[in-house]
Homo-oligomer: A and B are copies of this chain.
Amino acid sequence: MSLDAILTRIDAQLPDAMDRLKDLLRIPSISTDPAFKQPTDKAADWLVADLQSLGIKAEKRPTTGHPMVVGHVDGPKGGTGPHLLFYGHYDVQPVDPLDLWKTDPFDPQIEDTPAGKVIRGRGASDDKGQLMTFVEACRAYKHVTGEMPCRITFFFEGEEESGSPSLIPFMKENAQELQADLALICDTSMVAPGVPSIASQLRGMMKDEFTIHGPRIDLHSGHYGGPALNPLREISRLIASFHDDTGRVAVDGFYDGVQEVPAELLRQWESCGFDEKEYLSSVGFTQAHGEEGYSTLVQQWARPTLEINGLWGGYQGAGTKTVIPAEAHCKLTCRLVDDMDPDALRVKIRKHVEDRLSPDARVTWNDDLDGSPAAKMNIDRPEFEAARQALSDEWNREAVFNAMGGSIPIAGFFKEILSLDSMLIGFAQEDDAIHSPNEKYNVESFHKGIRSWARVLDRLSR
């Protein structure tokens, strides 16, 4: 049976696959920094060449920013498998603060750790290592069977870490070319070490930012301290009013569209291996905060939030400045679930603030920030059950349909622009330190990730 041969080939080829990944990791494709424009381009070239070496018609496609890599390959003549689109991104986060790295971020090293071998370097997990799990599975297929198991479109982006400015325009302009039956995305984590996970729902996001204006100019607190309205006190009072004493958001209508998690799904989640105590204590918490009556997992996966991400005003230097500043600033984001509408929510939050302003205080809003609704994957499609079985086979443990607290807008864009359902399977670990110094990817994630994709492709193509 060819699956066994493919898995054997993957095992034998692991050292070579790791060498290839290290080659890609050596290219500092930091998309957000103009100084790294050339290496970012080079990473695209590297991928084009690698796909071409598998007989895939791949090319670099220009955008106004970093290029897309698009590749097409047919499956077996008369094959019955679906047409898959595989998405990943080849750009990486900046590496600062560099002095916190124990090794050169762009000189990847294999390292022994208590949890097994890891590949350490920027992008090892996010997303070069994950992207390559799929490519390596395809390579093994090609070697053993001479072809891909089904028709596949490869779609790699180079701007994911810098806001994807070219993504939507490119997808709209090339919607016909990017048609497929199902999108596969490898940019997510496993719920817990050794627990294969398919993300079934993602939270959405609504971003906003406001400035509270008080006096016309900065005031001296010796002259105006007392009779003056202080924007720093005003903004603190407003922020404090966003939540009640039980941690619930106190904005009128905030929970419109939110549903409780069905009991059956809740039972599944509770047995998925998530270690609440470890999750909290690893960042210094002795207990869950936030909304009373909801577990850490439910809060993270299925409850909406209103969080303050930035707050500033007045003097921040050494010592004291006796100033009552003219302005105070606040950045906030909401995580959205179920049917919450980001645009409607924005209106409610703004009304909440405006209704509570003191006389002589004024608020202005940043109108350049966007929002995206929560996404529920279409897990009733047969491909999801097939993938779940494939992953369970590989990891000797029932794969779970988990939810995710984060937002991966690409799944929403695929649905919106290409009418394409997405399946998110990833092998990253919570401790991979993505976006942080000393990023790593477990060699087990890489190895079993490649094997997992081989099994998924096998199941989907039957």
- Seen from chain A, the residues whose Cβ lies within 8 Å of a Cβ on chain B are 163, 203, 205, 207, 209, 214-217, 219-230, 232-233, 235-237, 239-240, 242-243, 279-280, 283-291, 294, 296, 299-300, 303, 305, 307-316, 319-325, 328-329, 331, 333, 335, 358-360, 369, 404-407, 430, 435
- Residues B284 and A319 in contact, CB atoms below 8 Å apart: no
User: Of all chain B residues, which has the CB nearest A322?
Assistant: B333
Report A162 CB to chain B, min CB distance, Å: 10
Copies in the complex: 2
**Chain B residue contacts of A163, Cβ below 8 A:** 319
Ordered by A's residue number, 17 sampled pairs between the chains whose C-beta atoms are within 8 Å are: A205-B322, A221-B335, A222-B405, A222-B407, A225-B307, A226-B300, A226-B303, A229-B289, A232-B311, A233-B243, A236-B311, A289-B358, A308-B314, A311-B312, A311-B328, A315-B331, A321-B331
Q: Kindly identify which residue among B222, B232, B291 contacts A226, using a CB–CB cutoff of 8 Å.
A: B291
Q: A235-B311, A237-B239 are in contact. List 14 more A-B contacts (CB 8 A).
A: A220-B435, A223-B405, A225-B307, A225-B405, A226-B290, A226-B296, A226-B299, A233-B242, A236-B311, A285-B360, A309-B320, A309-B324, A311-B313, A316-B329
Cα separation A369 to B315 with both chains bound (whole Å)? 15
- Residues B237 and A360 in contact, CB atoms below 8 Å apart: no
User: Of all chain B residues, which has the CB nearest A361?
Assistant: B289
User: Of all chain B residues, which has the CB nearest A247?
Assistant: B226
- Residues B243 and A240 in contact, CB atoms below 8 Å apart: no
- Residues B205 and A288 in contact, CB atoms below 8 Å apart: no
Report A255 CB to chain B, min CB distance, Å: 14
**Chain B residue contacts of A331, Cβ below 8 A:** 314-316, 320-321
**Chain B residue contacts of A229, Cβ below 8 A:** 285, 289
- Residues B300 and A310 in contact, CB atoms below 8 Å apart: no
Q: Given A227-B280, A285-B229, A309-B322, A335–B300 Cβ distance below 8 Å?
A: no
- Residues A217 and B310 in contact, CB atoms below 8 Å apart: no
Report A360 CB to chain B, min CB distance, Å: 5
Cα separation A316 to B233 with both chains bound (whole Å)? 18
Report A372 CB to chain B, min CB distance, Å: 12
User: Of all chain B residues, which has the CB nearest A324?
Assistant: B307
Cα separation A207 to B321 with both chains bound (whole Å)? 10
User: Of all chain B residues, which has the CB nearest A217?
Assistant: B283
**Chain B residue contacts of A324, Cβ below 8 A:** 307, 309
**Chain B residue contacts of A280, Cβ below 8 A:** 227
**Interchain residue pairs A-B with the least CB separation, the first 6:** A222-B406, A226-B299, A216-B284, A236-B239, A310-B314, A240-B240
Q: Kindly identify which residue among B227, B242, B313, B315 contacts A299, using a CB–CB cutoff of 8 Å.
A: B227
- Residues A283 and B215 in contact, CB atoms below 8 Å apart: yes
- Residues B289 and A360 in contact, CB atoms below 8 Å apart: yes
Q: Kindly identify which residue among B283, B305, B309, B313 contacts A216, using a CB–CB cutoff of 8 Å.
A: B283
Q: Given A232-B308, A240-B237, A289-B227, A283–B219 Cβ distance below 8 Å?
A: yes
- Residues A360 and B284 in contact, CB atoms below 8 Å apart: yes
**Chain B residue contacts of A321, Cβ below 8 A:** 309-310, 331
Q: Given A227-B300, A289-B360, A369-B319, A310–B307 Cβ distance below 8 Å?
A: no
Q: Given A215-B285, A360-B285, A233–B305 Cβ distance below 8 Å?
A: no
- Residues A284 and B215 in contact, CB atoms below 8 Å apart: yes
- Residues A239 and B233 in contact, CB atoms below 8 Å apart: yes
User: Of all chain B residues, which has the CB nearest A287?
Assistant: B359
Q: Given A215-B284, A360-B289, A309–B227 Cβ distance below 8 Å?
A: no
User: Of all chain B residues, which has the CB nearest A283?
Assistant: B215
Report A375 CB to chain B, min CB distance, Å: 13
Cα separation A325 to B309 with both chains bound (whole Å)? 7
Cα separation A43 to B250 with both chains bound (whole Å)? 59
Cα separation A296 to B335 with both chains bound (whole Å)? 44
Report A371 CB to chain B, min CB distance, Å: 10
